[in-house]
């Protein structure tokens, strides 16, 4: 909710909108300094200077955009007056079978301005991680906006490939005994975090998964680090000769408005 457009504004008002507590200075609330964003979702924040003289009146009518994270499937009720959102979706990571390479990371889709209808409902589907069958990760969607899951890695085969997204493919899994790590997932424009890392291949020495939640490949009976991290779309680590939990990480949706 935006600060009032007229009248007096206090430190408490600014802290309630942009965060912070205790004894602070207005200089901690320069635009772009960490607390106060300045983009299409930050109404009137361009009036707040990035340096130099700053006053309480600079904050009249300003707003801190709201962020929501969806880690399970649900329905989102679009608030009144919200006709555009920034959205990121990541598909589920691929699963792995016995004696396999790593699973592929979920793909990432991103929109800087996804149109919404105020007071409508949007279906949010979070893709599951792939299983040890092996299966690919599930598709994640926010209404008509979607990202595909990473590919599964079958026994005695090459690794799973990264899933599709309009912003980036997920990281590829690495092959069994390949000696390389799983591929890194992409960095999200919405929060600067990596998602969709590929799983490391099975075999000794075990190989780490890629940045973005990729699981570590198993070495013999050591299967503890195999699953992809939940809600990152990370691919599962590859299995060695011993069955383990080759489950990919589930997907995620983040929005900002």
Q: What pLDDT shows up at residue 63? A: 83
Q: What pLDDT shows up at residue 72? A: 98
Q: What pLDDT shows up at residue 14? A: 84
Q: What pLDDT shows up at residue 82? A: 92
Q: What pLDDT shows up at residue 22? A: 72
Q: What pLDDT shows up at residue 50? A: 86
CB 185 within 8 A of CB 233: yes
Distance CA 17, CA 3 (A): 7
* CA-based nearest residue to 147, from 158, 132, 131, 136: 136
Domains of the chain, residue spans: 11-59, 66-257
Q: What pLDDT shows up at residue 1? A: 65
* Cα Rg of the chain, angstroms: 22
CA 233 to chain centroid, in Å, comes to 8
| HEC-encoded secondary structure of the chain | CCCCCCCCCCHHHHHHHHCCCCCCCHHHHCECCCCECCCCCCCCHHHCCCCCCCCHHHHCCCCCCCEEEECCCEEEECCCCCCEEEEEEECCCCCECCCCCCCCCCCEEEEEEEECCCCCEEEEECCCCCCCCCCCCCCEEECCEEECCCCCECCCCCCCCCCCCCCECCCCCCCCCCCCCCCCCCECCCCCCECCCCCCCCCCCCCCCCCCCCCCCCECCECCCCCCCCCCCCCCCCCCCCCCCCCCCCCEEEEEC
Per-residue pLDDT of the chain (257 residues; tens, 9 = 90+): 678 888 888 888 888 888 877 767 888 888 877 788 877 777 677 788 888 888 888 888 888 889 999 999 999 999 998 999 999 999 999 999 999 999 999 999 999 999 999 999 999 999 999 999 999 999 999 999 999 999 999 998 789 999 999 999 999 999 999 889 999 999 999 999 999 999 999 999 889 999 999 999 999 888 888 999 999 999 999 999 888 899 999 999 999 99
């Amino acid at each position: 909710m935006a600060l009032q457009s007229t009248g007096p504004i206090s430190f408490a008002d600014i802290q309630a909108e942009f965060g912070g507590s205790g004894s602070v200075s207005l200089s901690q609330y320069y635009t772009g300094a960490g607390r106060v964003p300045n983009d299409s979702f930050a109404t009137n924040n361009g009036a707040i200077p990035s340096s130099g003289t700053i006053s309480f009146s600079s904050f009249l009518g300003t707003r801190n955009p709201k962020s929501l994270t969806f880690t399970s499937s649900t329905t989102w009720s679009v608030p009144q007056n919200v006709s555009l959102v920034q959205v990121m979706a990541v598909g589920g990571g691929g699963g792995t079978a016995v004696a396999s390479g790593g699973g592929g990371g979920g793909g990432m889709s991103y929109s800087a301005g996804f149109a919404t209808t105020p007071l409508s409902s949007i279906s949010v589907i979070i893709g599951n991680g792939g299983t040890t069958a092996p299966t690919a990760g599930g598709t994640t969607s926010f209404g008509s906006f979607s990202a595909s899951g990473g590919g599964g890695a079958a026994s005695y085969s090459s690794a799973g490939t990264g899933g599709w997204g309009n912003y980036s493919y997920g990281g590829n899994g690495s092959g069994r005994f390949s000696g390389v790590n799983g591929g890194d997932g992409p960095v999200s424009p919405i929060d600067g975090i990596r998602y969709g890392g590929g799983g490391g291949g099975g075999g000794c020495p075990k190989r780490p998964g890629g940045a973005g939640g990729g699981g570590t490949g198993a070495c013999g009976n050591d299967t503890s680090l195999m699953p992809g991290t939940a809600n990152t779309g990370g691919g599962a680590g590859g299995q060695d000769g011993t069955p383990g939990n080759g489950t990919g990480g589930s997907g995620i949706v983040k929005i900002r408005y």
